[in-house]
């Protein structure tokens, strides 16, 4: 019984019950708007081959902000959520990297 009790104390009853403050919601919103402005401005500057890289980097920073703060991943105690996200990104990376490795190295064509 005492074992059971200590186990239930560790069972998180209030998982992802984190309530975001109004300030942090608005701060992330402003950061996302700033990122949008930045990415449009950067598209009109000639950075050579780095234009695409800059656009994708800003998009990834924006996506990370949304996942961490708006999707409450930063506040969750559930480790499986992190595992699902990391494996989704990992398999997406395999899909894109191996396909592009194939298409960019077909030098005989």
Q: Given the structure tokens 């701060």, which residue do they identify?
A: 27
CA angle 62, 65, 70 (to 5 degrees): 120
Q: Give yes or no for a contact between 75 and 16, defined as CB atoms under 8 angstroms apart.
A: yes
Taking the complex as a whole, the smallest distance from the CB of residue 70 to other proteins amounts, in Å, to 5
Taking the complex as a whole, the smallest distance from the CB of residue 84 to other proteins amounts, in Å, to 4
Q: Given the structure tokens 């919103």, which residue do they identify?
A: 29
Residue numbers of the site for other proteins (CB under 8 A)? 1, 4, 8, 11-17, 19-20, 22, 25-26, 28-29, 32-33, 36, 39-40, 43-47, 51-52, 55-56, 58-59, 62-63, 66-67, 70-72, 76, 78, 80-81, 84-85, 87-89, 91-92, 95-96, 99-100, 103-104
Taking the complex as a whole, the smallest distance from the CB of residue 9 to other proteins amounts, in Å, to 12
Q: Give yes or no for a contact between 42 and 51, defined as CB atoms under 8 angstroms apart.
A: yes
Taking the complex as a whole, the smallest distance from the CB of residue 18 to other proteins amounts, in Å, to 9
Distance CA 86, CA 65 (A): 15
Q: Give yes or no for a contact between 16 and 79, defined as CB atoms under 8 angstroms apart.
A: no
């Amino acid at each position: 019984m005492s074992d059971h009790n200590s186990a239930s104390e560790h069972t998180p009853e209030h998982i992802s019950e984190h309530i975001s403050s109004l300030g942090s919601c608005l701060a992330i919103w402003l950061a996302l708007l700033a990122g949008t402005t930045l990415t449009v401005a950067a598209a009109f500057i000639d950075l050579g081959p780095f234009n695409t890289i800059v656009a994708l980097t800003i998009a990834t920073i924006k996506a990370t902000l949304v996942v961490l703060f708006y999707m409450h991943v930063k506040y969750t105690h559930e480790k499986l959520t992190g595992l699902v996200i990391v494996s989704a990104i990992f398999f997406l990376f395999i899909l894109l990297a191996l396909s592009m490795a194939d298409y960019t190295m077909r030098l005989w064509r």
